[in-house]
A and B are shown apart, each in its own frame.
Chain A
């Protein structure tokens, strides 16, 4: 408790508050720009960090890291372009809400979910960090394989109207995920001789092509973002704060989903090599499984948006826990975060919490503070942000196209990435036309590189003993979750059909009885 109070005291320094504020604003802005993400901005700030004092440098990097997750949902909701790869799932419910003229409400809901996700994750990290870090290493290749397999059960939630086409999209996504140099033998698979594809399809051009340019095509055909004139007029009217607050309150009506997504997102964040994308997809699938209105998912349902945005924000404190307690960076962003710490002699590892307990507490307090201020700032900024959807097509379309082109180029400074983006935009045209699920396709691409190598690694460490997938405790737990996720919706559906049939029969019997009496 003493260290906690000391940490709070250190944060009251005006210089620290200034750096936190800078990190908040820059992180929100960068997260909101498609093509830029937390990795870009942390790389840039690494050039400044060595010249700063240790404590302010760490606070600045933490603020940037956390705020960029909140900002990434903004373009995902308003124009169907994920600001960061981890916010791709926010497009499933956020953008349909915008098309109905409820963009302000969707943003408010997103900020409310981000608030609880970040604060909840930060509090969980404060309480459990010293303990959880130890158990992160329990997740070996068999557990990672099972976790990815569990993630694939979300396909049922993402398949859309046609289950066959949804399944085909997911399997195609898994196939596209195999593109690149193989993990064990080192041969290149389906790279067409393009060096850019050797490490797999780059995720930013892929996302910008599928969602960004794909949505641009849709928009120019419709000549608007929002579907019809009355919804556009409604969107233009509801730019006052009341729209955002309505969405904010709607988020808190789904407290069960919020709490579930916070915990699951945090736990997935703790596991190295997973990330917020998997967390948001998994929570979306689970929210749909437990929902009483699963048929409304994909049409603009607050519950789905709450699940994705809470999970991708609570994942960040989880990944920070593993980075600090074990010194294992779970993603490119945490590598940069750890680099900033190492530059100032904060050595992450098992002794971090004993040697730097005050600083560790400060990091997680910052997470909570940024969560609150990023969401509040977003609520007030949303009034202006939502006007983007009412811009004429010739302005918005040009801006979106430029963002997609520039964003594709800057991730690796290669023109080949622009070609990759254009190619996937072509794929998205046909997928949308014929009703194939792009979220399921994206899920396959994300999980494919986790499923295959971890499967072979698990067999390699057990001398080709397949029983490892059925005997490890976490694997057994994940098998149970997979069975529950697949069977519960069928059971609920069958039960509802039976109830409907019984009530129909009861009504018919009543009518017959009335007729006989008369």
Chain B
């Protein structure tokens, strides 16, 4: 199996380590009953991360050696931020859409936010505006009827300052 040298997992491990440093910092001076268990877990996590990091580096070095040995075809260059964004474009768009939904629901209200979100996502995934509008209407109405009307759940309303 052709593998590229991939060190991106080290960034993920680095993020976990950064979180641990922050957590440890916030537990300074705290009674041992509250801090012992988290410190034990952070210690265990750090130890296991060393082994995982070693694994990642070893795998990446082997992949690099295969690339440069000339025994296999050189893969086209797919590194860099542009390539990453292109490869994961759909995921990034949905992630950003979910964040925007969370930010805007307090201002636009549940129904409008739901409609815009459903319209945007179904158009982005289906590339057909008529079908997207239909899906958005059906989904918005179904959720409003099911949760707001039938179950009586209170959702944010459109913010109107006047």
1/0 per residue, CB under 8 A from B, across A28-46: the answer is 0000000010001000100
Flag the segment in A185-193, A310-318, A358-366 that touches B. A185-193
A409, closest chain B residue (CB): B155
1/0 per residue, CB under 8 A from B, across A404-421: the answer is 011001100101001101
Q: How large is the interface on B (under 10, 10 to 19, 20 to 34, 35 or more residues)?
A: 35 or more
Query: B residues within 8 A CB of A213?
Result: 94, 98
Q: What would be 22 A-B contacts, judged by CB atoms less than 8 Å apart?
A: A168-B49, A171-B48, A172-B45, A175-B20, A175-B23, A175-B38, A178-B38, A178-B41, A185-B31, A217-B90, A392-B126, A394-B122, A395-B126, A397-B94, A401-B121, A405-B114, A413-B154, A415-B102, A418-B102, A422-B95, A425-B98, A455-B37
Give me the interface of A with B, judged by CB distance under 8 Å: 36, 40, 44, 162, 164-165, 167-168, 171-172, 174-175, 178, 182, 184-185, 187, 189-190, 213, 216-217, 220-221, 392-395, 397-399, 401-402, 405-406, 409-410, 413, 415, 418-419, 421-422, 425-426, 429-430, 434, 451-452, 455-456
Q: A182-B34, A189-B38 are in contact. Are A399 and B45 (CB under 8 A)?
A: no
CB distance from B4 to the nearest CB of A (A): 14
B37, closest chain A residue (CB): A452
Q: A187-B34, A405-B98, A415-B156 are in contact. Are A398 and B45 (CB under 8 A)?
A: no
- 9 nearest A-B pairs in the assembled complex, by CB-CB distance: A394-B126, A394-B125, A182-B34, A418-B102, A185-B34, A175-B41, A394-B122, A168-B48, A398-B122
Query: A residues within 8 A CB of B156?
Result: 415
CB distance from A49 to the nearest CB of B (A): 16
Q: Is B57 in the interface zone, CB < 8 Å from A?
A: no
Measured CA separation A399–B118 after assembly (Å): 8
A47, closest chain B residue (CB): B152
Q: A168-B52, A185-B31, A220-B90 are in contact. Are A190 and B98 (CB under 8 A)?
A: no
Q: Is B131 in the interface zone, CB < 8 Å from A?
A: yes
CB distance from A225 to the nearest CB of B (A): 13
By the criterion CB–CB under 8 Å, are A165 and B52 in contact? yes
Query: A residues within 8 A CB of B20?
Result: 175
CB distance from A438 to the nearest CB of B (A): 14
Measured CA separation A425–B26 after assembly (Å): 25
By the criterion CB–CB under 8 Å, are A434 and B9 in contact? yes
A429 CB contact (under 8 Å) in B38, B49, B91, B143: B91
Query: B residues within 8 A CB of A398?
Result: 118, 121-122, 125, 135-136, 139
Measured CA separation A413–B106 after assembly (Å): 12
Q: A182-B34, A185-B31, A419-B102 are in contact. Are A401 and B94 (CB under 8 A)?
A: yes
CB distance from B75 to the nearest CB of A (A): 18
